[in-house]
């Protein structure tokens, strides 16, 4: 649940979210591709709210949005725009799609000496 100024604003649900801007809640659903990327956000009535297109490493291009921009995008992860870094939040680590790199070392880096501990998907996102 997400609160804003003490009022319930959004409830995250599996496959989407619910917003509360008045008396009736509004259901929003994610349409995902085979990789789990949120490609389209639609309301329950079928209104398209947002369309996302991605480069192979997760960078956004041609993002069509309405007034209410939702942050869950590439791999269904939250795109943090607050600090101007545009990193995806994977929980333990942050990912920069512009560089195709993690922002901290892989904790299992000792197992894979031939790959950079900062490389995303072993630098092979298309395989």
Whether the predicted model's global pTM rises above the 0.95 cut: no
Report residue 65's pLDDT band, with 50, 70 and 90 as the boundaries: low
- pLDDT of 16-62, one tens digit each? 999 987 778 999 999 999 988 999 999 999 999 899 999 889 888 87
Between CA 113 and CA 36 the distance in angstroms is 29
**SS3 state of residue 104:** coil
Give the number of other Cβ atoms within 10 Å of residue 70's Cβ: 20
> Domains of the chain: which residue ranges?
2-123
More confident residue, 22 or 74: 74
Between CA 127 and CA 43 the distance in angstroms is 33
What would the two tokens of residue 33 be? 């591709």
């Amino acid at each position: 649940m997400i609160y804003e100024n003490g009022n319930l604003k959004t409830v995250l649900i599996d496959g989407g979210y619910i917003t509360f801007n008045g008396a009736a809640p509004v259901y929003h659903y994610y349409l995902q591709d085979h990789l789990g990327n949120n490609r389209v956000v639609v309301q329950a009535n079928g209104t398209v709210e947002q369309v996302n297109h991605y480069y192979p490493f997760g960078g956004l291009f041609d993002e069509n949005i309405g007034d209410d921009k939702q942050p869950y995008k590439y791999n269904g992860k939250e795109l943090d725009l607050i600090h101007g870094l545009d990193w995806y939040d994977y929980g333990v680590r942050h990912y920069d799609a512009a560089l195709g790199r993690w922002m901290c070392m892989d904790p299992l880096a000792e197992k894979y000496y031939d790959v950079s501990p900062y490389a995303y998907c072993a630098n092979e996102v298309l395989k």
